[in-house]
């Protein structure tokens, strides 16, 4: 148990002369000592020991204790026992020898009458008092007793008791104790309010430090008066650097005017909100934050300060921007696909032939387009692997890879719009090879290869080559240009800026498609090839 530091090194108050009690300097000094030094007490027990020491000095008591009635009203918990009381104990109770305050004492006996009768009592012959219950072994013999109730809101909630005056307690000691009682109550309640306030502040600070938001307070004109540790950690600005208008140093230069305007209507609005960028102290990168400020008002409704939070919305904002981009891309792709479908339908119908043949062609082309869309939507980038695109088209028409088929080239991923048109071109070439060319005849051979080539002007090209050989019959070039021929010779150059070469030669079809290729994609390809 911590000893009462404020009692050490002080001269005890000398007891005033016995007789009628004037409001003399001794009692007033005792009251002042309780009220002033109580502010320095760190615990209720330390405060209680101070109050008891003052009461003992003024009344001449040998020891004392200070107790509070429990909510159950039939038990008393000790707030403090005086230093003289601890010293006077001569028993072997381990709790008492370790200065553990006894709690849960039943309210009875002489001291119990002070609370039960709600009045101060002097008992100078306790051995013969009808309510005497004795004292535990080791406790000092009680030769006389003075008990005083402590009242809060007109009700007795506690008491303090003094024991063993050298010549017995008189009305003068009773009056001194009753004069001290209001000061003791005031000091105790003040200490409890102070402890509760500190605990509340600790809880609030723990709560603030545990949330992800940056927290701050400000005056009506936007001058900050406090910032949380999260603000310091995020911006790199110290508390001192952030106070006043120093916080503006963390705001993006383009957002500072908006941040100043943020406070223009602070007196008229109930809440302020804005989005702006704050600089990350370690990386120097700016992140988007949503800032809100709520007014704190006095009893008259006047705004006295603002409580604000700044929430990191950078990831959310970028996701929102990404979503808007994706929606725009989706709308574009839907319109593009509908255009392609319309064109496929028109050119398929215009090619003529039996309705079953037209239906088969149209279904096959739609299936090819659908396969490309499925692959494109399965990757976050929306790109399509060229080799997978080719193999899917071959499998789509039942072409199985064997020694007649050769597919070779580096890893290439095509943008979705490029893959749509390229997929249709591969589909048309595959269908033609299955009906008339290398995929129909056992002696036919099909080689599909692609590569990236660097041009002399540092530009790159993707070259895809479809080469059929071993077709026994001499192919006859089509009399009129069909959908596949038009797609390769006209749509690819028009839509993708490609150069195309399509030849119906003896032994099979040769098709070479040359596409412009971004240098960044070529660099990535080289790195992956080297690795």
**Number of C-beta neighbours around residue 313 at 10 A:** 16
Are 148 and 202 spatial neighbours (Cβ–Cβ below 8 Å)?
Answer: no
Higher-scoring residue by pLDDT: 480, 75 = 75
**Per-residue model confidence as pLDDT tens digits over 420-447:** 888 888 888 888 888 888 888 888 889 9
Rounded Cα gap, residues 424 and 456, in angstroms: 31
Task: State pTM to two decimals.
Answer: 0.49
- Token pair of 454 as six digits: 């660097």
Are 212 and 230 spatial neighbours (Cβ–Cβ below 8 Å)?
Answer: yes
Closest CA to 35 of 193, 192, 185, 194: 185
Are 27 and 58 spatial neighbours (Cβ–Cβ below 8 Å)?
Answer: yes
**Per-residue model confidence as pLDDT tens digits over 127-164:** 888 888 877 777 888 899 999 999 998 889 999 999 99
**Per-residue model confidence as pLDDT tens digits over 86-137:** 888 777 777 777 788 888 888 888 888 898 899 999 999 988 888 888 777 7
Are 59 and 177 spatial neighbours (Cβ–Cβ below 8 Å)?
Answer: yes
- Residue 8: pLDDT above 50? no
Region 261-281 average pLDDT: 79
**Per-residue model confidence as pLDDT tens digits over 163-181:** 999 999 999 999 999 999 9
Are 173 and 146 spatial neighbours (Cβ–Cβ below 8 Å)?
Answer: yes
Q: Is 311 exposed, middle or buried (0-12, 13-18, 19+ CB in 10 A)?
A: middle
Name residue, tokens 């009628």: 20
Name residue, tokens 């339908």: 345
| Complete edge-to-edge strand list for the sheet that includes strand 272-279 | 224-227, 214-218, 303-312, 286-297, 272-279
Q: What is the pLDDT of residue 511?
A: 93
Q: What is the pLDDT of residue 29?
A: 87
| Complete edge-to-edge strand list for the sheet that includes strand 105-106 | 105-106, 75-81, 63-69, 155-163, 145-152, 121-123
**Per-residue model confidence as pLDDT tens digits over 292-346:** 888 888 888 888 888 889 999 998 888 888 888 777 766 766 666 666 666 666 6
Considering the chain, what is the average pLDDT of its residues? 81
Rounded Cα gap, residues 138 and 64, in angstroms: 16
- Specify the range with the lowest mean pLDDT, choosing from 33-37, 265-269, 495-499: 265-269
Rg of the chain, C-alpha, whole Å = 47
Q: CA distances (Å), 58 to each of 50, 172, 180, 185, 362, in order?
A: 13, 10, 10, 18, 112
Region 401-422 average pLDDT: 85
Contacts of 258 (CB under 8 A, 6+ apart): 274, 276
């Amino acid at each position: 148990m911590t000893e009462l530091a404020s009692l050490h090194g002080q001269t005890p108050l000398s007891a005033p002369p016995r007789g009628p009690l004037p409001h003399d300097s001794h009692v007033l000094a005792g009251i002042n000592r309780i009220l002033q030094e109580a502010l320095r007490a760190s615990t209720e027990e330390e405060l209680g020991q101070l109050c008891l020491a003052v009461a003992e000095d003024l009344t001449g008591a040998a020891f004392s204790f200070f107790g509070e009635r429990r909510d159950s009203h039939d038990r008393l918990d000790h707030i403090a026992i005086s230093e003289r009381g601890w010293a006077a104990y001569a028993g072997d109770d381990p709790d008492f020898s370790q200065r553990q305050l006894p709690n849960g004492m039943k309210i009875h006996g002489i001291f119990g009458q002070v609370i039960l009768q709600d009045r101060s009592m002097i008992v100078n012959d306790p051995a013969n008092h009808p309510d005497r219950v004795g004292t535990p072994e080791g406790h000092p013999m009680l030769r006389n007793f003075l008990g005083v109730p402590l009242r809060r809101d007109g009700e007795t909630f506690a008491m303090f008791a003094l024991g063993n005056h050298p010549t017995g307690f008189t009305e003068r000691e009773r009056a001194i104790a009753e004069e001290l009682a209001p000061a003791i109550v005031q000091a105790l309640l003040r200490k409890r309010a102070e402890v509760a306030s500190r605990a509340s502040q600790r809880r609030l600070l723990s709560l603030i430090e545990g949330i992800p938001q940056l927290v701050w307070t400000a005056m009506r004109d936007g001058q900050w008066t406090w910032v949380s540790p999260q603000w310091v950690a995020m911006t790199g600005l110290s508390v001192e650097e952030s106070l006043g208008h120093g916080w503006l140093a963390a705001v993006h230069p383009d957002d500072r005017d908006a941040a100043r305007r943020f406070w223009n209507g602070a007196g008229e609005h109930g809440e302020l909100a804005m989005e702006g960028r704050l600089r990350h102290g370690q990386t120097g990168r700016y992140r988007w934050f949503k800032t809100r400020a709520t007014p704190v008002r006095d009893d008259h409704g006047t705004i006295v300060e603002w409580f604000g939070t700044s929430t990191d919305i950078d990831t959310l904002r970028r996701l929102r921007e990404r979503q808007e981009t994706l929606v725009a891309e989706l709308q574009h792709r839907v319109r593009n696909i509908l255009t392609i479908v319309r064109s496929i339908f028109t050119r398929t119908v215009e090619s003529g032939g039996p309705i079953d043949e037209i239906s088969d062609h149209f279904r096959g082309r739609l299936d090819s387009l659908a396969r490309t869309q499925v692959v494109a939507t399965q990757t976050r980038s929306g790109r399509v692997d060229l080799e997978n695109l080719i193999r899917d088209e071959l499998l789509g028409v039942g072409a199985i890879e064997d020694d007649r088929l050769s597919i070779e080239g580096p890893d290439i991923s095509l943008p979705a719009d490029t893959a749509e048109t390229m997929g249709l071109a591969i589909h048309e070439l595959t269908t033609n090879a299955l009906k008339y060319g290398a995929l129909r005849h056992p002696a036919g051979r099909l080689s599909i290869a692609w590569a990236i080539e660097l041009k002399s002007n540092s530009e790159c090209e993707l070259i895809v080559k479809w080469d059929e050989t071993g077709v026994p019959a001499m192919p006859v070039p089509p009399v009129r240009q069909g959908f596949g021929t038009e797609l390769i010779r006209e749509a690819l150059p028009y839509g993708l800026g490609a150069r195309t070469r399509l030849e119906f030669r003896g032994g099979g079809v040769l098709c070479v498609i040359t596409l412009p290729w971004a240098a960044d994609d070529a660099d990535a390809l080289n790195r992956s090839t080297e690795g």
